[in-house]
Structure 1
Amino acid sequence: MSRDARWKSLLELLVERGRLEVEEAAAELEVSAATIRRDFDQLAEQQMLVRTRGGAVVHGVSYELPLRYKTARRASEKQRIARAVADLVSPGEAVGLTGGTTTTEVARALAVRGDLTAGSPALTIVTNALNIATELAVRPQFKIVVTGGVARPQSYELIGPLADGVLGQITIDLAVLGVVAFDVTHGAAANDEAEAAVNRLLCERAERVVVAADSSKLGRRAFARICAVGSVDTLVTDTAADEATVGLFEEAGLRVITV
Structure 2
Amino acid sequence: MTGAEVDQQSRWRRLLDLLSTRERLTVSQGAELLGVSPATVRRDFSELAARQLATRVHGGVVATSVAYELPARYRLAENDPRVRIARAAAAGVSPGAVIGFNGGTTTTAVARHVAQRPDLRDSGVTAVTNSLNIATELVLRPYIRTICIGGEARPESYELHGPYAAVLLKELRVECLFLGIDAINAEAGVTCGHLGEATVNAEMVRAAQRVVVVAHGAKVGGYALARICGSSDVDELITDDSADASEIDRLRDAGVTVTLV
TM-score tier (shorter): 0.7 to 0.9
Return the match for 2:54 from 31, 41, 49.
Answer: 49
Question: How many Å separate the matches in 2 of 1:195 and 1:73?
Answer: 27
Percentage of matched positions with identical amino acids: 37
Task: Report the residue type matching 2:183 in the other structure.
Answer: A
Q: Per-residue CA shift, 1:80-121, capped at 9, x if unaligned? A: 11111101111111111000111011111111112121xx21
When normalised by structure 1's length, the TM-score is 0.83
Task: Report the equivalent of 1:246.
Answer: 248
> 1:12–1:93: structure 2 CA closer, same or farther, 3 Å change rule?
farther
Question: How many Å separate the matches in 1 of 2:60 and 2:231?
Answer: 48
Paired residues of 2:49 and 2:55 also in contact (CA < 8 A): no
Q: Per-residue CA shift, 1:141-194, capped at 9, x if unaligned? A: 200000100111110000001101211111010011100111110111111111
Task: Report the residue type matching 1:136 in the other structure.
Answer: L
When normalised by structure 2's length, the TM-score is 0.83
Pairwise CA RMSD of aligned residues?
A: 3.0
2:256 corresponds to 1:215:
no
- Measure how far apart 1:125 and its partner are: 0.4
- Measure how far apart 1:74 and its partner are: 10
Return the match for 1:187 from 179, 182, 189.
Answer: 189
Task: Report the equivalent of 1:106.
Answer: 110
Gaps of 5+ in 1: none
> 1:244–1:72: structure 2 CA closer, same or farther, 3 Å change rule?
same
Task: Report the equivalent of 1:115.
Answer: 119
- Measure how far apart 1:71 and its partner are: 5.8
Task: Report the equivalent of 2:235.
Answer: 233
Gaps of 5+ in 2: none
Task: Report the equivalent of 2:165.
Answer: 163
Query: Which structure 2 residues correspond to residues 87-106 of structure 1 after superposition, within 5 A?
Result: 87-106=91-110
2:16 corresponds to 1:15:
yes
Q: Per-residue CA shift, 1:37-71, capped at 9, x if unaligned? A: 7656656xx6x424444221333x62354344356
Query: Which structure 2 residues correspond to residues 124-203 of structure 1 after superposition, within 5 A?
Result: 124-203=126-205
Question: How many Å separate the matches in 1 of 2:57 and 2:115?
Answer: 21
Paired residues of 1:95 and 1:124 also in contact (CA < 8 A): yes
Paired residues of 1:173 and 1:206 also in contact (CA < 8 A): yes
Aligned pair count?
245
> 1:65–1:20: structure 2 CA closer, same or farther, 3 Å change rule?
closer
Structure 1 stretches (4+) deviating beyond 3 angstroms? 8-14, 19-25, 30-33, 35-43, 50-53, 70-75
